[in-house]
Chains A and B, each alone.
Chain A
C-alpha cells in the first residue's frame, strides 16, 4: 500500500504494510530522528507527534489512517533551521538529561500551548501526563512550559 503523508510541510509517499505505525515511516523511511521508540504501546509518549492539530502516539497510528494528513515532528518546529519557541524554552531551561523522552515532550508541549496559550500549573501537569521521563527532568520541563507560555 502507498499513502501520501505530509510531514513537516513536505509530501512523502510511503510504501509498506498498511498496519505499519507512523513511527517507523518517520524514522526508517523519511529519516527523521525526533520521534522515538519507547514502548510501542501508547504508554510513554516518546513517539509523540502532532497530526492535524492533535497529539498522537506515532507508535500506534498505522499509516493507513494517515492518507492526506499533515504530521508535525519536533524537526518541524524549527524556524529557518533555528530552534522554535518551544525548543528555545527547553534549551534555556536545559530541560534534557538523556533526552530520549524530550522530542516527545516538545510535541506534547506544542500541542498543549496550541490549545491553551496560558496554562495554569495544574493544566500543565495534567496536559503533560501522557509522557514519561525516567531521568526526572520533569521539573525542568515544567519550567520550560512556563517559559514558552510567557514568550
Chain B
C-alpha cells in the first residue's frame, strides 16, 4: 500500500469471495490470468473498493449492483463518480450487476437507482478522493489544504502526482465515509449535463452487444416448450415428430420441456413442430367475471396506509362514491427474455438481463441446491423490461438445460413465451368514498384497495416450478400499497389495502407498481370531487396540499403556467368541439410515495363521440426529482413514461381463458403505434443542492388520471376502468344520454 498509513485491509477481507480480477488497459475487467497482476475484488457493502477502482493509468472503474436497462443510470453513475473524483467522464467505465464484482445494492426497482445506488457510488468516490488527497499531501510533503485536482492529477506547491501513480494498482482498503465532504454543486461540470447515454451510438449502429447477442464457446441453442395451460401435466413427447430435424436434443424434467440444437433456427422449428401430449386443468377464473372474482377473493390481511381522524363519524350531507379498476398488464419488452448459462462441475455462470442478479444468484442456488458461492450471475443489458419480466425465468431455463446437458446453453424466449409467461401486473380494484359537508368541503376520504398480498421479494422461477425444483412460492407483486394514501389534507382520511390471498396469474411489479394504478384512482376520484363541488381541479388541489410543502406547490404553479391552464370547473361547457369531435383537458399530481419525486401533468385529448376513440394530443409535464444528474436522461424517462402509460391506459389488457393467457402476441395485446403518440412537453425543475431522486417511474403514476379527467372535461363521462377502449367510451356516452 502506498496511500495513507491508517488504512486497514479489513474491508478487502470482508469482500473475500469476490473474484480475482485484473484490469485491462481500457479499464475493463477480466478474470486474472497468470501473467497479470491480480487483486481480490471486494464486493462488501460499505467498502470503497466495492464501488471504485483506479488502475495505474488512472482509468476509473465503477462497480454498481444497480443496473441500467435503458434508463441511462449507468451514465448517471459515471457522471456522479467522475464529478466527485474530478476526472474526465471518458476515463470512467461502469460494471453492473456481476455478483463476483459488484456489491449487492438490492434489485433495480422503485426508481431508486440514482437516489440510493448512485448516492452510494458518489460517497465511495468522495471517500476515495479524500484518501488520495491525504496520500498526495504526504507524498508531496505539502499541506493538504493547498492541493488541487484536475483530471485525476493532484497538484500542490512544487509537485504533482496522478491518481494512478498514487495507487499504483493497489486497492483503497477503506470504508466508505457516510459523512464525507461531497463536492459543492456550484462546482459541478459533469453532473447536470445532458451527456449522451453510454452505449447509445452502438444501439443505433448495431455495434452494441445485448444479452441477446452473447455467444460463448460450445454454446447450443435452446427453446422452451411451455404447456397449453398453467396447470398441466406432461404426458408424452412424440420424438418422431421432430426426427426430420438434424441433431435435436429433447430435455425433459417433470413438466419442463425444451429442445436444443446447434443451429438456432433448428431449435425454433423443433419447438414449433414437436408433438407433445399434456393433461390440462382449468385453473383461472372466467375473465368476464374478473372483478367479481377479485372482490370475492379471500383477504389475507389489511394494510392501513393512512388513518387520520375518524372517517365514520365525519358529518356530511352527501357522498361521492365510485369504483375504479385497472386491468392485468404485461411488461411488453420488445425483445423476449434471453439468457446464457454454463453449468459445469457443479458451478454455474449465468448471464442474463436480470434487474436483480444478487437475488437471482440466491434463487438459482436454491433451485439447484448448490452453495451461493458456486453461482455467479452476470448482468448484460437486454431489451427494456420495465419491472420483473421473464429475464430471471429465462436464466433458470438456461441453467437447468445446461446442467442437464453439461454444456453452455442459450435460451431465447419466443414472443408467445414472453407474452404468455412473464409475470403480470395484477388486476387492481379500488372503491372510493368522499363525504361532503354542508359547507361544501370534503369531511372524509376513504378508500379500499383490493390487491394481492406480498411485496417486492423473490418471484417464483417458472422453470423451477415446471421441473418441480425448489423455488420460493410467495406472491410478490411489488410495493403495490404505495400511493394508496393521498397528499391532500382532508380532516378525516382512511385508506386501506385489502391484501388478497391470491390473484390470477403469477404477479410481479410492472413499472411504477401500484403507484400507477392507485394514483389513477385517487387522482381521477379527486377530479370527481372537484366536479361535484364545481371548482377548478388545479386550484382545488393547490388548496389541499400542505402549505409547508413548497416544492409541491411550485410544481402546480409551474404547471399552470406551462400548460396555459385557465381555471374553470370541468366539464367544459360549449367548447370548440365540432359535432362528434370533443376536446378536453385534465390534470393529475403525485408526490411519489408521498416522499419523493413530484410530478404534475396536464393531458389534452380529443375524442370521437361516434366511435369512442380517444386521441391524446398533448401532455405537459412538470417534474421535480431534486438534483438532476443528467437532464437528457430525465427527459427520456419522462417521455417514455408518458408514452408507455398512454398505451397502457388506452389499449392494454391481457386476455386469458380458463387455462392460460390468450393474448400471446402484439395483435392480441396491441400497444401504441406512432400515429397515436402524444406530443410530450416537459419542464424540469432542478434543485442542485437537494438529494437526487428517481425519474424512471413517477411520471407513469399520473398519466391514466390525466387522460380520464380530460375525457370527463371533454364529454362529461367518467372512465374508471383502464383500458379506455372505444367500447367502454361508447357505453359511457350512451348511459349519459339515457
Chain A interface extent, by class: 35 or more
B239 within 8 A of A: no
B265 within 8 A of A: yes
- Check A98 against B636 for contact (C-beta < 8 Å): no
Q: In whole angstroms, how far apart are the Cα atoms of A33 and B199 in the complex? A: 14
- Check B207 against A129 for contact (C-beta < 8 Å): no
Mask of A97-133 contacts with B, CB within 8 angstroms, 1/0: 1111111001000000000000000001110110111
B272 CB, min distance to chain A CBs, angstroms: 10
A32 within 8 A of B: yes
List which A17-46 residues lie within 8 A (CB) of chain B. Answer: 17, 19-21, 24, 27-28, 32-34, 36-41, 43-44, 46
Interface of A is mostly: loop
Nearest residue (CB) in B for A127 is B674
- Check A38 against B335 for contact (C-beta < 8 Å): yes
A94-B205 in contact given A39-B415, A44-B334, A132-B334 (Cβ < 8 Å): no
B383 within 8 A of A: yes
Residues of B within 8 A of A134 (CB): 332-334, 383-384, 386, 644, 671
- Check A41 against B209 for contact (C-beta < 8 Å): no
B201 within 8 A of A: yes
Chain B interface extent, by class: 35 or more
In this complex, which of A132, A140, A142 has the most chain B Cβ atoms within 10 angstroms of its Cβ?
Answer: A132
Q: In whole angstroms, how far apart are the Cα atoms of A95 and B364 in the complex? A: 36
B609 CB, min distance to chain A CBs, angstroms: 23
A137 within 8 A of B: yes
Residues of A within 8 A of B265 (CB): 16-17, 20-21, 24, 28
B71 within 8 A of A: yes
Nearest residue (CB) in A for B633 is A94
A5 CB, min distance to chain B CBs, angstroms: 15
- Check A142 against B674 for contact (C-beta < 8 Å): yes
Q: In whole angstroms, how far apart are the Cα atoms of A41 and B208 in the complex? A: 24
Residues of B within 8 A of A19 (CB): 269
- Check B383 against A100 for contact (C-beta < 8 Å): yes
Residues of B within 8 A of A132 (CB): 334, 666, 671, 673
A140 CB, min distance to chain B CBs, angstroms: 7
Nearest residue (CB) in B for A78 is B205
A135-B201 in contact given A37-B336, A100-B334, A142-B677 (Cβ < 8 Å): no
- Check A128 against B200 for contact (C-beta < 8 Å): no
- Check B209 against A102 for contact (C-beta < 8 Å): no
- Check B677 against A37 for contact (C-beta < 8 Å): no
Q: In whole angstroms, how far apart are the Cα atoms of A90 and B71 in the complex? A: 17
- Check B203 against A102 for contact (C-beta < 8 Å): yes
In this complex, which of B72, B196, B264, B680 has the most chain A Cβ atoms within 10 angstroms of its Cβ?
Answer: B264
Nearest residue (CB) in A for B197 is A94
Q: In whole angstroms, how far apart are the Cα atoms of A2 and B499 in the complex? A: 60
Q: In whole angstroms, how far apart are the Cα atoms of A27 and B214 in the complex? A: 11
Q: In whole angstroms, how far apart are the Cα atoms of A41 and B671 in the complex? A: 15
Nearest residue (CB) in B for A20 is B265
A1 within 8 A of B: no
Nearest residue (CB) in A for B647 is A136
Residues of B within 8 A of A74 (CB): 204-206
A65 within 8 A of B: no
Known: A126-B674, A134-B644, A138-B672. 10 other contacts (CB 8 A): A38-B335, A44-B666, A83-B205, A94-B636, A98-B203, A99-B199, A99-B200, A100-B210, A132-B666, A134-B333
**Which B residues lie at the A interface, using CB under 8 A?**
69-72, 194, 196-197, 199-201, 203-210, 212-213, 263-266, 268-269, 332-336, 381-384, 386, 412, 414-415, 632, 636-637, 639-644, 647, 665-667, 671-675, 677, 679-680
Can you list 15 residue pairs at the A/B interface with Cβ under 8 Å? Answer: A37-B412, A44-B334, A44-B666, A83-B204, A91-B196, A94-B636, A95-B204, A97-B72, A99-B203, A99-B204, A103-B205, A103-B206, A137-B640, A139-B679, A142-B677
